[in-house]
Amino acid sequence: MLTRIFPFLDPDMITHEFSERLISLAKDCAQLEHDVSFVEARLRTAPTLDLYVPLLTPLGLHLVGQVTQHPLLGTRKIITSQLWFADPEGRWARTLSRFYCLGRPADPDGREHITTTSLFTYDDRDLDGWPGDYD
């Protein structure tokens, strides 16, 4: 029953790419636990997300905003993959796919407009199931 409502829960949705994303996330998690300094090196090549707002979906918490220098998506409005960690000072965020440098948060009152009137590209690109084709 759960997999009919939430197809991403089905073990058949697991791909090598998804496993690699989880391994990378777990490694970063272990490093963050002991030493946050490695993040600075990651941010040198990370895309920047500007005018962003959080968005809660059935797949988790995401950020919606204007990305620049994304390695696959270039510069455009996106919805990130699931958000896992964020800098308490608001400088960076780690999603399932990658680190992002954070620019300016969007006006919270403009959230409805941002999420309903703009065209977005998902960072994980799979809206029907658990992210499969990653950036």
Q: What pLDDT shows up at residue 59? A: 85
40-78, pLDDT tens digit by residue? 999 999 999 999 999 998 888 999 999 999 988 889 999
- Give pTM, 2 decimals: 0.77
Would you give the DSSP letter of residue 89? T
CA separation (Å) from 52 to 63, 97, 120? 6, 17, 12
Question: Does 15 fall in a domain?
Answer: yes
Domain count, the chain: 1
Question: Does 134 fall in a domain?
Answer: no
Question: Does 23 fall in a domain?
Answer: yes
What residue ranges in 8-130 does DSSP mark as E strands?
48-57, 60-70, 74-79, 83-86, 92-95, 99-102, 121-122
Question: Does 29 fall in a domain?
Answer: yes
Tokens read off for 46: 């990370």
86-99, pLDDT tens digit by residue? 999 999 999 999 99
Range of the domain at 84: 2-116
Question: Does 126 fall in a domain?
Answer: no
99-134, pLDDT tens digit by residue? 999 999 997 665 555 555 444 555 544 433 444 333
Q: Are 64 and 120 within 8 A, CB to CB?
A: yes
